[in-house]
Chains A and B, each alone.
Chain A
Amino acid sequence: MELQSLESRDANREATIRRIRSSARAIRMHALNMVFEARQGHPGGDMSVTDILATLYFGVLRVDPKAPHESGRDRLILSKGHASGALYSTLAEAGFIPIEALSTYMKPLSMLNGHPNRNNVAGVEANTGPLGHGLPIAVGIALAGKIDNADYRVFVITGDGELQEGSNWEAAMASGHHKLANLTLIVDRNTLQQGARVSETNDVEPLADKFRAFRWDVVDVDGHDPGALLDAFAPSADRTKPLCVIAHTIKGKGVSYMEDQVGWHHGVPTQAQLDKAMGELSGS
């Protein structure tokens, strides 16, 4: 009996991981097409955060695209709002918005602004764009959940360069103080920011030590491994602190010529580059 149930759990997990991988492939392709058609966007960050988003939406979050404002839902805030191409693609794959809407990305009067607006796009929790806003908002939601004894969880994704914004550390301090065990921060640790390496600009290391000093639990994971991400995001009843998941990622992941290249923070592929990317991604 026990063996069987373990086997079926493993089978479920394998199915979930396959679903995450296939969704991630679709999300990357959508996002690149969107950037190509809009002639602007942030493809490098879209690619680095995709596996995190796919793991959350297809393996972790308790959300319902038919009831996106249901009060007991889990929340995900993409604080690095410039990776909107990946977020919108994920929301479309998850059924929150129509797939066809993606082709309107950043076109006049589109609901899909360059940065997300929760009043226009179902599933968006916060109007991010200026960096350092997502974590404070997530702290507020986590506090509301704590006041209500609700069992929803709050997830927030920041960039690593984004952690140079001081507001994050105000919020990190408050999270530790309030022991927000219902809060998970995921740092998309791709080591690049807009203009250069994070380490060359204003180094955030030692990152894990910083969060531990702010009274968080910290885990390091491969941010492109759905299984490792699922393990890191697994709920834990005995958690007493907020959790920081440092997800080690590659900016531009999945597109050979974009990977770890600072120039693809914002950059628009040519037709030939797009074709090459699609070829690589479809085989992934």
Chain B
Amino acid sequence: MSATQPTSPALFDCRDAFAATLDQVAERDNRIVIVVNDSIGSSKLGGFRKRWPQRTINVGIAEQNMVGVGSGLANGGKIPFVSAASCFLTARALEQIKADVAYTNANVKLVGQSPGVGYGELGPTHHSIEDMAWLRLLPNLAIIAPSDPWETAQAVEAAAEHEGPVFLRITRFGVPKLPRPDNARFEIGKAETLREGRDVAIIACGVMVTRALEAADRLADGGVNAQVVNMASIAPLDEAAIRAAADLGAIVTVEEHSRRGGLGGAVAEVVAGYRPCPIRILGFPGFMPTGSPKFLFERFGLTSNGIEKAAREAISLRLL
């Protein structure tokens, strides 16, 4: 971050990468518009509104109308980015997402801001640890949970280019930029193997990818060789990557989401039909007690420590 703190990496708010990239895309494609529910500030879209007031539609606090309006804008040839806190966007307007966006196969980009436990102490009404589970049931809808600012920018570009509905899960936590080769490129439906390994596969998405890599470092110190897969694309799912993970015989999944029905559920569905192996699914168990995001991550084992422990458990259960 600075010369005085050489060991702590710079942290980035992925919303900045989202907003900056959307600006670039909107600059070259005038079909891009934004639809918000009084969520300009929390979506960091103040700059967009200033540049393109006519392309900014603030429906007020009305999520059902917001998503329907998004579908209508797509009918009218626009590419709407419908951006709101994920808890309200995906829960309040779920039927609109199902019928007006997914079933209609409308070219709408849903942007779930501050998902997971991003709102920490505000409690379960404001947490969005169910969004990937209920959206994963909807055909046609791509679901992307980027891991860092680079991938967020790539995902915004990919969403704009993709003809069809997309859900982007944009975190508000500070995350470091992950090390990647220069030729890295995000692709909808493709997993990214960040670290090769042979003893256990750690499959993560979103903010948990950094911690998965840290866990792999710790495991390596103890002689365990862990593969780390970034499964940013929850739908469509890279089933080949999941089968390759199952071939290692032990899997840990980790997500800032409920343990039920999200990334872990998706991985388990594929593994069960291929080569069953122990899968430790790390996530949140239910409605969260009061606490900061950091507190909740630590309390429920969503830490490099917790992932390391789960990996060892999965290995010990390996069916050989």
Task: Give the interface of A toward B (CB within 8 A).
Answer: 71, 75, 117-119, 125-130, 132-133, 135-145, 147-148, 150, 166-167, 170-171, 173-174
Q: Given the interface contacts A119-B105, A173-B62, does A147 sit within 8 Å of B96 by beta carbon?
A: no
Cβ contacts under 8 Å, A145 to chain B: 76
Pairwise interchain contact A137-B77, C-beta atoms closer than 8 A? no
Q: Which 6 A-B pairs have the closest CB atoms?
A: A140-B72, A136-B68, A144-B76, A170-B65, A170-B62, A140-B69
Instruction: Look across to chain A and name the residue whose beta carbon is closest to the beta carbon of B78.
Output: A144
Pairwise interchain contact B103-A117, C-beta atoms closer than 8 A? yes
In the complex the two chains form, what is the Cα distance from A148 to B65 in whole Å?
21
Pairwise interchain contact B72-A174, C-beta atoms closer than 8 A? no
Pairwise interchain contact A139-B69, C-beta atoms closer than 8 A? yes
Pairwise interchain contact B76-A139, C-beta atoms closer than 8 A? no
For the complex with contacts A144-B33, A174-B69, 6 further pairs of A-B residues with Cβ separation under 8 Å are A126-B75, A130-B95, A137-B75, A141-B75, A143-B73, A147-B33
Instruction: Look across to chain B and name the residue whose beta carbon is closest to the beta carbon of A135.
Output: B68
Cβ contacts under 8 Å, B103 to chain A: 117, 127
Pairwise interchain contact B73-A140, C-beta atoms closer than 8 A? yes
Pairwise interchain contact A144-B77, C-beta atoms closer than 8 A? yes
Pairwise interchain contact B65-A167, C-beta atoms closer than 8 A? yes
Cβ contacts under 8 Å, B59 to chain A: 170, 174
In the complex the two chains form, what is the Cα distance from A105 to B73 in whole Å?
30
In the complex the two chains form, what is the Cα distance from A139 to B35 in whole Å?
12
Pairwise interchain contact A140-B95, C-beta atoms closer than 8 A? no
In the complex the two chains form, what is the Cα distance from A200 to B210 in whole Å?
59
Query: Per-residue CB proximity of B281-305 to A under 8 Å, as 1/0?
Result: 0000000000000000000000000
Q: Given the interface contacts A141-B72, A143-B57, A148-B76, does A171 sit within 8 Å of B104 by beta carbon?
A: no
In the complex the two chains form, what is the Cα distance from A125 to B68 in whole Å?
13
The 16 listed contacts between A and B (C-beta, < 8 Å) are A71-B77, A75-B75, A118-B104, A126-B104, A127-B99, A130-B95, A130-B99, A136-B64, A137-B100, A139-B69, A140-B72, A140-B80, A145-B76, A147-B33, A167-B96, A174-B69
Instruction: Look across to chain A and name the residue whose beta carbon is closest to the beta carbon of B95.
Output: A130
A-B pair number, CB within 8 angstroms: 101
Cβ contacts under 8 Å, A137 to chain B: 68-69, 71-72, 75, 100
Query: Nearest-CB distance from A128 to chain B (Å)?
Result: 8
Among candidates A71, A119, A133, A173, residue contacting B68 with C-beta atoms closer than 8 Å: A133
Chain B interface size band reads: 20 to 34
In the complex the two chains form, what is the Cα distance from A144 to B54 in whole Å?
10
Instruction: Look across to chain A and name the residue whose beta carbon is closest to the beta carbon of B73.
Output: A140
Report B118-140 residues with CB < 8 Å from chain A CB: none
Query: Nearest-CB distance from A228 to chain B (Å)?
Result: 28
Most buried by A among B57, B68, B99: B68
Cβ contacts under 8 Å, A129 to chain B: 99
In the complex the two chains form, what is the Cα distance from A208 to B241 in whole Å?
59
Most buried by A among B55, B65, B73, B96: B65
Among candidates B62, B78, B100, residue contacting A147 with C-beta atoms closer than 8 Å: B78
In the complex the two chains form, what is the Cα distance from A9 to B73 in whole Å?
36
Cβ contacts under 8 Å, A174 to chain B: 59-60, 62, 65, 69
Pairwise interchain contact B100-A142, C-beta atoms closer than 8 A? no
In the complex the two chains form, what is the Cα distance from A92 to B180 in whole Å?
56
Query: Per-residue CB proximity of B48-61 to A under 8 Å, as 1/0?
Result: 00000011010110
Pairwise interchain contact A127-B104, C-beta atoms closer than 8 A? yes
Instruction: Look across to chain B and name the residue whose beta carbon is closest to the beta carbon of A165.
Output: B64
Q: Given the interface contacts A139-B65, A166-B64, A171-B68, does A133 sit within 8 Å of B100 by beta carbon?
A: yes
In the complex the two chains form, what is the Cα distance from A127 to B74 in whole Å?
13
Pairwise interchain contact A140-B75, C-beta atoms closer than 8 A? yes
Among candidates B55, B67, B72, residue contacting A138 with C-beta atoms closer than 8 Å: B72
Does B70 interact with chain A (Cβ within 8 Å)?
Answer: yes
Cβ contacts under 8 Å, A136 to chain B: 64-65, 67-69, 71-72, 96, 100
Report B27-48 residues with CB < 8 Å from chain A CB: 33
Instruction: Look across to chain A and name the residue whose beta carbon is closest to the beta carbon of B82.
Output: A140
Cβ contacts under 8 Å, A141 to chain B: 72-73, 75-76
Query: Nearest-CB distance from A172 to chain B (Å)?
Result: 9
Q: Given the interface contacts A127-B100, A174-B59, A174-B60, does A139 sit within 8 Å of B75 by beta carbon?
A: no
Query: Nearest-CB distance from B184 to chain A (Å)?
Result: 35
Query: Nearest-CB distance from B51 to chain A (Å)?
Result: 14
Query: Nearest-CB distance from A119 to chain B (Å)?
Result: 6
Pairwise interchain contact B64-A167, C-beta atoms closer than 8 A? yes
Cβ contacts under 8 Å, A126 to chain B: 71-72, 75, 100, 104
Cβ contacts under 8 Å, B73 to chain A: 140-141, 143-144
Pairwise interchain contact B55-A147, C-beta atoms closer than 8 A? yes
Pairwise interchain contact A144-B72, C-beta atoms closer than 8 A? yes
Instruction: Look across to chain A and name the residue whose beta carbon is closest to the beta carbon of B80.
Output: A140
